[in-house]
Structures are given as C-alpha cells and as structure tokens.
Amino acid sequence: MDFSAWMSSIQQRIESALEHLLPASSLEPARLHEAMRYATLDGGKRVRPLLCHGSGEIFGVAPELLDQAACAVEMIHVYSLVHDDLPCMDDDVLRRGKPTCHVEFDEATALLVGDALQSLAFQTLSETALAAPRQVSMLRLLAQASGSRGMAGGQAIDLAATGQALSLEELEFMHIHKTGALIRAAVLLGAHCGQADEAALASLTQFANRVGLLFQVVDDILDAESNTATLGKTAGKDAAHNKPTYVSLLGATQAKQKAAELRAQAHDCLVPYGAQARRLHELTDYIVERKF
C-alpha cells in the first residue's frame, strides 16, 4: 500500500474509533458531549495517531490493537488545542477550519471539553487488551507527557516567554515539552503495544525527539510563509502574538537548514529497523513536505 493510501486508511480508522469512544451527543449532559464531538471529530491531520500506528507496525502490531493508544493521544492533543484557543491563552477564533470550541459553544463548555477529553484519554488507555504492567507503563508515559514536566509545562514556559527574547536553547526546551512530549508519547505508545524492550524504547525516543522538533520547526516555517503570502508580513501567527519562533530567531533560510538536519537525523535513528520502519520514514517526510 502506498503512503497516501495507508495514511487515509489510518485516518479513517481513527475517525471511526473516536466516533465510538466519544459519548453520543444524545447522552446527558448533551451540550458537553456535543462540544466534545465538535472539537474532536472530522478535523486535523491525526499526525500523533499516525505516528503511533507507524511505530506499532515496526513490531508487527495489528492495527486494531493500536487504535486505543492512538485515540488516547489524539484526545490529549485535542484537549490542548481547545484550551490553547481560549481567551486566557491564545484567544483564537478558528481551528481546523471552523470556529473554535469556545466560539461555537462558550468558554465554560470549552474548558470542560478539555477536562473531559483528558479524562477520557486515560480511561481509553486503561481499556486496552495489554497485560497490566505494560498498561501501567503506558498510562504513566501519557501522564508524564501531558503534565507539568511535559505539554502543560511547555505551555507554561510558552506563556511566560511571550514578549521575551529567547535563546535557541530556550526555544528548543519549550518545544521539547510543549509539542515534543506528546509526539514522543505517540511513538512510544505504539512501541509499547508491540512489547518493545528498553533498548527499542530508547532508540525510538531518539527518533521521536528529532521528529517532535522537526514538526515544530516546519510549523513555524509554514506559519511564516502563509502570513507572507496572505498578509505580506514576514512573521507568522506566533510572532504576531509576540512569541519567539524558529523563523523569528534564525531567519527562514537557517530554519529550513535546521529542518533538513533534523529530518536526516530522524531517518538515521530508524536505520536499525530496516524496512519495518517504512511508515515512520514516510511520516518523517510527510511532516516536512506537508502544506498545512
């Protein structure tokens, strides 16, 4: 199966699994459930679930076994987007091509959507068919990736950095937590589903760290380019929010150079897995070549 057919098939599986895992909007409290479904379904590239599946494929895991872990990571991701869009954070009105959750519903509902999605993620991960010790490791991994030493901590650093001059090291530290932690969790959860040993988890951590940063560098480049195209500005949305980015710090040419280096390093990390890592190689390229 070529990459684009594989990607569509996983995206469809994830959509259908999320559809079943999310409470029906006919269930009370109906408005909360409707808002959870609004924020989660029918949108997004599903990069984290794709990474989870790609990683599981290295170990020959059946797709059905990967869906719950992949959906759990996506639920945490959607919760972070809903909260990030709130007026007290980035105050955004559009997400995934439609009004943000708090605009479509209201702020209190959006806050609860994030809370409830976070809980549902851990519930979903606790219901896999894996043996209890493995499941506990996976729950710990996702909790660490989401919490104050992971994504939420990265967001705190980001908020504190608004309007500040950051060094490249500080910017990288922020992104390793804010976006990198969840991307790492996606890769490692897929590997856990395949009973990966410590050595494999360590080498895939190296891969995921590169891909996490790569994702962010490319995001900054795309953001800057879309603003240049539409508004004639040279900086993107984050820079407009007075937040430092790879492009504002390095300039577009060096940011692209950085992306090329991270891409090559990510591919190198997969060499020991040979053809089994085909999907992770392809996803690395997709992350660089995507248009949004």
Q: Which of 3, 59, 63, 96 touches ligand GRG by CB under 6 A?
A: 96
Q: Which of 192, 219, 247, 283 touches ligand GRG by CB under 6 A?
A: 219
Cβ nearer to ligand GRG, comparing 58 with 287: 287
Closest of 15, 10, 17 to residue 55, by C-alpha: 10
Q: Which of 55, 128, 179, 284 touches ligand GRG by CB under 6 A?
A: 179
* Binding region for ligand GRG (CB under 6 A) out of 75-83, 121-129, 244-252, 269-277: 75-83
Return the residue nearest ligand GRG (CB atom).
44
* Binding region for ligand GRG (CB under 6 A) out of 121-129, 151-159, 225-233, 269-277: 151-159
Q: Which of 111, 139, 152, 161 touches ligand GRG by CB under 6 A?
A: 152
Whether the CA torsion 84, 86, 89, 91 is positive or negative: it is positive
Minimum CB separation of residue 200 from ligand GRG in Å reads 25
Which residues contact ligand GRG (rule: CB under 6 A)?
44-45, 47, 77, 80-81, 83-84, 96, 151-152, 155, 178-179, 219
